[in-house]
Amino acid sequence: MKPDDIHRVMAILREESRSWRTPAVTIVAEDSLSPYKVLVSCIISLRTKDEVTTHASKRLFEHAATPEAMQQLPAKEIAKLIYPAGFYRNKAEQILEISRRLVAEYGGRVPDTLDELLAFRGVGRKTANLVLTLGFGKKGICVDTHVHRICNRWGYVATRTPDATEMALRAQLPPEYWIEINDLLVAFGQNLCLPVSPRCSICRLYELCARVGVTHSR
């Protein structure tokens, strides 16, 4: 893919995304407009299917929708509410610890800088950027496994890790696409550009894609 092709690619993805399921954390952000809920939902979503994340987040927020309310729940109760999310016990402890710190150090508000978010235990660049972009509408590039895989598959970047992909995208991706690229590529990666045997035969991006690393497709 040539660098200038990204404008055409993003236009096509915007059109196609109308028929795809919206990622779970994005739904939470759109419904709640709460950086705290985005943060907690993103923690729940790690190594967890979207449908599980959606239901687990809903159950949890029905009991506690703020850091103040969350810190009143025992970790076991939080774990029960977010089950069967992956590593639900560890995530429950993490959610409780973050909620307590938010109340004690930030007056119950989620900080809106990357460095402050990264200072919370278990919050990596993916989660921090997602909170900034979806929770606050600030510029950032959230790179998860889909964004990392697809951008390399296209030949748009050539990187080995998600963090390296984020840095490469910051250097060449037009800022107008920074916030939405995660939503579009997560949906694209779940529906067409699968990790194994992507559906290249029906993909509108076929002619633009370098198909780096693709050995089998449908």
Is the confidence at residue 4, as pLDDT, over 80? yes
Question: Which alpha helices (H) appear in 4-124, and where do they start and end?
Answer: 6-16, 24-32, 35-45, 50-63, 67-70, 75-82, 88-106, 114-118
| Confidence bin at 162 (pLDDT 50/70/90) | very high
Over the stretch 184-204, which tens digit does the pLDDT of each residue have?
999 999 999 999 999 999 999
d(CA 189, CA 165): 16
Architecture of the domain delimited by 3-21+141-208 = Orthogonal Bundle (1.10)
Average pLDDT over residues 36-46: 95
Is the confidence at residue 154, as pLDDT, over 90? yes
So where are the chain's domains?
Answer: 3-21+141-208, 33-136
Looking at 2.60.40.1080, 1.10.340.30, 3.40.50.300, 3.40.1160.10, the CATH number of the domain 33-136 comes to: 1.10.340.30
Closest CA relative to residue 190, chosen from 161, 149, 154, 152: 149
Over the stretch 88-99, which tens digit does the pLDDT of each residue have?
999 999 999 999
Cis peptide before 35 (omega within 30 of 0): no
Is the confidence at residue 26, as pLDDT, over 90? no
Is the confidence at residue 216, as pLDDT, over 90? yes
The answer to whether 127 and 117 are in contact (CB under 8 A) is yes
| Confidence bin at 169 (pLDDT 50/70/90) | very high
Average pLDDT over residues 143-156: 97
DSSP state of 132: I
Least-confidence region, from 30-44, 99-113, 135-149:
30-44
Average pLDDT over residues 82-93: 97
